[in-house]
Structure 1
């Protein structure tokens, strides 16, 4: 290709690109049908996402309220139906469990721990710590999770005593 031909081709490309740019700049912004439809789809998607955000915020608020209820302390949130302390002699049909020590025999206390539908195993650990049966709720819950036992805790009432060790407690609450 000669120099003259190259220059003419370059000049032609330059002129055509200037014409196209001029049309873009000086012509009114006319949207094509596909652009209009895609913008309507985007508006719909934004509305759906805003609704989803509202739903998630409401769910987050509900979860925060539930968390606050659980962490307030069982002294304020548990009722007698949630945790019952049964001492020897209070109930005629309840047997007292005793442990032996170097001193006089201590009577173990019996408790009923309630797990409601949807509550995680950490709620049981919190109740056991509140009742003074375990010292560290986090260690107990970690033990449940490490041994794949946390999923076996089901809703219901579980009878435990203050003299149970960790393995006995686990067996009592996963039945």
Structure 2
């Protein structure tokens, strides 16, 4: 290569970058919302890890780190203040369970937890609330993302989903 740099290609990310997978009508209505559609699809297609009464856990299609989960209410609401008490309690409990399961499966050293409320706050799908559970390890912010602006994920999403689903506690 002319510049001497090696390339790590991640063509699957172009769909996210270009917005090709966005429905024409956007995410505002449940019919076009991937968080409304995921629970009705197979675990292999949707990457749903576990299902509760009010919320479910699903792998992020564009993860920051391996095991990056989203805890989503089934109900299509954009704002945390719109959750009822049962949804709020289960979302919190499932966030704790997600952390325990990820620690068990991959020995995460820490976590970033968060909700981006609104497009201006960084929400890619602002119309449907979702809690990010991002596992972290010492040294995971190495030269690849810092200098190379590339994230290396050592496992396919389906493999990660299978490991987390197998470790998720059954009621």
Which interval holds the TM-score relative to the shorter structure? under 0.3
- Over alpha carbons, which structure has the higher Rg? 1
The normalised TM-score by structure 2 is 0.26
- Which has more helix, going by share of residues? 1
TM-score by length of 1: 0.26
- Which structure would you say has the larger RCO, counting Cα contacts within 8 Å and 6 or more residues apart? 2
